[in-house]
Amino acid sequence: MEIIVKLEKESFSKDDIIRLLKSEGEEKNALFKKSGEVKEKYIGNKVWFRGLIEFSNICGKDCLYCGIRKGNKNLKRYNLSDDEILAAAKFAFDNNYGSVALQSGEIESPAFTKRVIKLLNNIKELSDGKLGITLSVGEQEPEVYNEWFDAGAHRYLLRVESTNRELYSKIHPNNKKHDFQRRLDCLKSLQDIGYQTGTGVMVGLPFQTLEDLAGDLLFMQDFNIDMCGMGPYIEHADTPLIINADKLLPLKERFDLTLKMIAVLRIMMKDINIVAATALQAIDPIGREKAVKIGANILMPNITPGKYRDSYKLYDNKPCTDNSAEDCQSCLEARVSLADAEVIYSEWGDSQHYEKRRYKRSC
Ligand code: 5AD
Ligand code: FES
């Protein structure tokens, strides 16, 4: 089969990737089999948890797809207290999660910078330095990234959303606050500072082509990312992009395409960390488990206090919004074993790619 020949290649061209993203039936099975084998060989059948704390839905930006955009007035805004955030981190630590991920809407201000530094210090303190910390709080100045790195954050997730400039400008307002070049500059600073650097895209956006998606994967490879989080785009009724709802692939196809993106990326970048995004579960009840089987190795159980979860709705039908942190943990653990994988507790589960990249640089 032509696809098998492609799968055995050392590196993929854009056309190869498009071909793989088009695979169906037997060919798709061959792709998933291969990506599952690569994961098993390089990572093992393992999954690491990052306890996700969505600590505020207040956002200074207006991305056209995002439910917590500044312009959405149909949303109750919240900001967890420091005590609530630290209690969630303590829950993660007591339950032997290796890491937490702090995520919020995007705010750039000295007060926000200071607050995050304090939280990082406190989380390190309450866990005796043992909890790993991923930050995902958007575009910031290099000095700010530096200060947070020094305070103990060691991974940063900043999705590029799409690497096609033209598409980027169709899904963001065209102003200085939503500038594609700044997104790239931020990713570069994160990498230069020494963060394990993660990015990702939404799959199935209006106007997005398979060529765009292939370009996204090649960008990730060229940029030498350490981590990736990719999920299907899911429309949100209170966002401007909803007017393009008629241009979208059916949800099931967006889901399938996301799995193929994860599988191809796993084959291209064998030792990076790949998140099984929550948005997959909004489409398929066992969507995240399917992603784990074919290549993902990171899950982010939501440990945000239950009463706030409903308000961190990036897209419609977001799952797990009425659960407690305990519910998410036992549910996810059962699900991971369904995918024949094992949750590894009390370990950071750092990106092997990062370790090797750093080692190479110091030699
Ligand atoms: N559908 C899917 N993912 C979304 N995100 C934001 N809005 C949506 C949506 N409507 C993703 C973006 C962002 C991450 C936090 O959530 O990729 O980077
Ligand atoms: Fe908040 Fe885009 S709407 S970062």
Decide if 352 is inside a domain: yes
Alpha-carbon distance of 220 to 310, in angstroms, equals 32
Range of the domain at 28: 16-362
Pick from 150, 174, 147, 172: nearest CA to 161: 172
Distance (angstroms) between ligand 1 centre and the Cα of 361 equals 33
pLDDT of 355 reads 85
Along the chain (363 residues), what's the average pLDDT of each consecutive run of 10 residues?
76 95 96 96 95 97 98 96 96 95 98 98 97 98 98 98 98 97 98 97 98 98 98 97 96 98 97 96 93 96 85 83 71 76 89 83 60
Nearest listed ligand to the Cα of residue 101: 1
Say if strands 202-203 and 273-276 run parallel, antiparallel, or are unpaired. Answer: unpaired
- Please indicate, yes or no, whether the overall pTM of this predicted structure exceeds 0.85: yes
98 C-beta closer than 6 A to ligand 1 = no
Q: Is residue 197 part of a domain?
A: yes
CATH number at residue 58: 3.20.20.70
In a domain, residue 2? The reply is no
pLDDT for 363 equals 56
Beta strands in 95-151 (DSSP E): 99-104, 132-136
The verdict on residue 9 lying in a domain is no
- 3 within domain boundaries: no
| Ligand 2 atom nearest to 70, measured from its CA | 3
Bridge-partner residues for 342, per DSSP?
46
CA of 363 to the centre of ligand 1 (A): 38
In a domain, 304, yes or no: yes
106 in contact with ligand 2, CB cutoff 6 A: yes
Q: Output the pLDDT for position 8.
A: 84
Amino acid at 42: Y
Regarding the beta carbon of 107 and ligand 2, being less than 6 Å apart is answered no
Q: Is 8 inside a domain boundary?
A: no
Q: Is the CB of 279 under 6 A from ligand 1?
A: yes
Q: Which residues pair with 136 in a beta bridge?
A: 103
Q: Give the pLDDT confidence score for residue 160 in this predicted structure.
A: 98
**What is the structure's pLDDT at 106?**
98
The two structure tokens encoding residue 349: 């589960």
Domain tally, the chain: 1
Q: How far is the CA of 64 from the centre of ligand 2 (A)?
A: 8
